[in-house]
Amino acid sequence: MRTARTAYWRWPRVLAHRCGGRLAPENSLAGLEAAAALGCGGVEFDAMLAACGTAVVIHDETLERTTNGHGRVADVPWAALRRLRLRDSAGAVTEAPLPALAQVLDTCARLRLMANVEIKPSQGAEAETGRAVAAQVDDWARASRSVPLLSSFSDTALAAAAEAAPDQARALLLERCDESAFARARGLGCVAVIGNVDSLTEIFIRAAHDAGLGVACYTENNARRGRRHLALGLDALITDDPSHFVSDAAN
Walk along the chain (251 residues) in steps of 10 and give the mean pLDDT of each run: 65 97 97 98 98 98 98 98 97 98 98 98 97 98 98 98 98 98 98 98 97 98 97 97 78 41
Give domain status of residue 31, yes or no.
Answer: yes
Clarify whether 17 is annotated catalytic. yes
pLDDT number for residue 2 = 45
Euclidean distance between the first and final Cα of the chain, in Å? 5
User: In this structure, what CATH number is given to the domain that contains residue 81?
Assistant: 3.20.20.190
pLDDT number for residue 249 = 39
Give domain status of residue 27, yes or no.
Answer: yes
In the set 59, 209, 229, 244, the catalytic residue is: 59
Instruction: Residue 127: give the domain boundaries.
Output: 14-244
pLDDT number for residue 6 = 65
Give domain status of residue 3, yes or no.
Answer: no
Give domain status of residue 8, yes or no.
Answer: no
Give domain status of residue 4, yes or no.
Answer: no
Helix (H) or strand (E) holding 95: strand 93-97
pLDDT number for residue 160 = 98
Give domain status of residue 251, yes or no.
Answer: no
| Gap between the Cα atoms of 189 and 191, Å rounded | 7
In the set 17, 209, 229, 244, the catalytic residue is: 17
Cβ neighbours, 10 Å, residue 250 = 12
Non-local CB neighbours of 57 within 8 Å, separated by 6+ positions: 19, 27, 45, 46, 47, 48, 98, 99, 100, 101, 103, 104
Give domain status of residue 164, yes or no.
Answer: yes
pLDDT number for residue 166 = 98
Total domains in the chain come to: 1
Is 101 in contact with 47 (CB distance < 8 Å)? yes
Q: Where are the alpha helices (DSSP H) in the chain?
A: 29-38, 78-81, 101-111, 126-144, 155-164, 181-187, 202-210, 223-231
Give domain status of residue 178, yes or no.
Answer: yes
> What's the chain's length in residues?
251
Clarify whether 209 is annotated catalytic. no
pLDDT number for residue 247 = 74
Strand-strand pairing, 114-119 and 42-49: parallel
pLDDT number for residue 1 = 43
